[in-house]
Amino acid sequence: MRVTVIGTGYVGTVTGACLAYLGHRVTCVDTDRTKIEKLRMGEMPIYEPGLKELIEVARERGGIDFETDVRPAVAQSDVIFIAVGTPPLPSGESNLAYLEAAARSIGGAMDGSKFRVVVNKSTVPVGCGNLVETLVREGVLESRPAIAQDVHFGVASNPEFLREGSAIHDSLYPDRIVVGAEDSRTTNMMRELYEPLIEQTFVDPSFAPRPRDMDKVAMVMTTLTSAEMIKYSANAFLALKIGFSNEIANICERVGAEVTEVMTGIGLDSRIGTAFLHAGLGWGGSCFGKDVSSLLHTASEYGVNARILEASLAVNRMQRNVVIQKLQEKLYILKGRTIALLGLAFKPNTDDLRDAPSLQIAEKLLQMGARLRAYDPIAMDACREQHPNLRICYCNDALSAAEHADALVLVTEWPEFADLNLANLASRMNNAVLIDGRNLFSPEKARAAGFEYAGVGRANHRSNGHAHAAAQDAKSTVV
Ligand X SMILES: NC(=O)c1ccc[n+]([C@@H]2O[C@H](COP(=O)([O-])OP(=O)(O)OC[C@H]3O[C@@H](n4cnc5c(N)ncnc54)[C@H](O)[C@@H]3O)[C@@H](O)[C@H]2O)c1
**Catalytic (active-site) positions:** 287
**Piece in contact with ligand X (CB under 6 A), picked from 28-36, 239-247, 390-398, 432-440:** 28-36
- DSSP letter for each residue of 264-291: HHHHTSTTT-STT---SS---SSSHHHH
Determine the Cα angle at 23 with ends 19 and 25, to 5°: 75
At 317, the amino acid letter reads R
Nearest residue (CB) to ligand X, 86 versus 312: 86
Q: Does 160 bind ligand X (CB under 6 A)?
A: yes
> Could you tell me whether strands 176-181 and 79-82 are parallel, antiparallel, or unpaired per DSSP bridges?
unpaired
Nearest residue (CB) to ligand X, 30 versus 228: 30
Q: Is-contact 412 346, C-beta < 8 A?
A: yes
Q: Does 287 bind ligand X (CB under 6 A)?
A: yes
Q: Does 29 bind ligand X (CB under 6 A)?
A: yes
Q: Is-contact 227 178, C-beta < 8 A?
A: yes
At 133, the amino acid letter reads E
Q: Applying CB under 6 A, which of residues 3, 12, 316, 340 lies at the interface with ligand X?
A: 12
**Piece in contact with ligand X (CB under 6 A), picked from 8-16, 192-200, 251-259, 310-318:** 8-16
Nearest residue (CB) to ligand X, 14 versus 262: 14
Q: Applying CB under 6 A, which of residues 77, 123, 186, 298 lies at the interface with ligand X?
A: 123
Q: Which of 286, 284, 324, 290 is nearest to 309 (CA)?
A: 290
Nearest residue (CB) to ligand X, 382 versus 429: 382
Query: What b/e sequence results for 193-204 when a residue is b if at least 16 CB atoms lie within 10 Å of its CB, and e otherwise?
Result: bbebbbeeebee
- Least distance to ligand X, CB of residue 472, Å: 24
Q: Does 296 bind ligand X (CB under 6 A)?
A: no
* Count of chain residues binding ligand X (CB under 6 A): 27
At 407, the amino acid letter reads A
Q: Is-contact 26 39, C-beta < 8 A?
A: no
Q: Does 187 bind ligand X (CB under 6 A)?
A: no
Strand partners, 392: 372
Q: Applying CB under 6 A, which of residues 27, 77, 122, 158 lies at the interface with ligand X?
A: 122
- DSSP letter for each residue of 371-395: EEEEE-TTTHHHHHHH-TTS-EEE-
- Mask: binding to ligand X, 53-92, rule CB under 6 A, as x and -? ------------------------------xxxx------
- In the complex, the residues that contact ligand X under the rule CB under 6 A are 6-12, 29-32, 35, 83-86, 98, 101-102, 105, 122-123, 160, 162, 164, 286-287
